[in-house]
Amino acid sequence: MLSRSSDAVPLPLTDPSRPVVCVKVVAGHRLRQRLADLGIVPGTELNVVRPHAPGGPLVVEVRGSRLALGQGMAHGILVVPADTDGS
């Protein structure tokens, strides 16, 4: 079982040296669907490959692929550390 989403933080605010698990996506229907199409759904483990640089995207690895996410998109992905996801 996943940790409560109230314990979650936006993806860009996590420690990039630790894997995280998505617990909730806070976005409109179209963006939630787009992220789901990319494999980012609750329960998915993510690794931050490159944190946000000023004016640049956050790069994450998800299910073996690397994705560049804009700041607004990344802030809607709420995560907990992978070692606390309860699995």
Apex 6 CA angle, 16 and 2, nearest 5:
70
Q: pTM for the whole thing?
A: 0.85
Sign for the pseudo-dihedral over CA of 9, 13, 16, 22? positive
Phi and psi torsions of 24, nearest 5°: -165, 145
- Which is higher by pLDDT, 81 or 1? 81
- How much is the mean pLDDT over the chain? 89
The amino acid present at 26, given as its one-letter code, is V
38, pLDDT greater than 50: yes
Each residue of 4-24: pLDDT tens digit? 667 899 999 999 999 999 999
Considering its fold, how many domains does the chain have in total? 1
The answer to whether the CB of 80 falls within 8 A of the CB of 7 is yes
In the predicted structure, residue 1 carries a pLDDT above the cut 90: no
Which residue range forms the structural domain that includes residue 13?
A: 5-84
What CATH number does residue 35 fall under?
A: 2.30.30.90
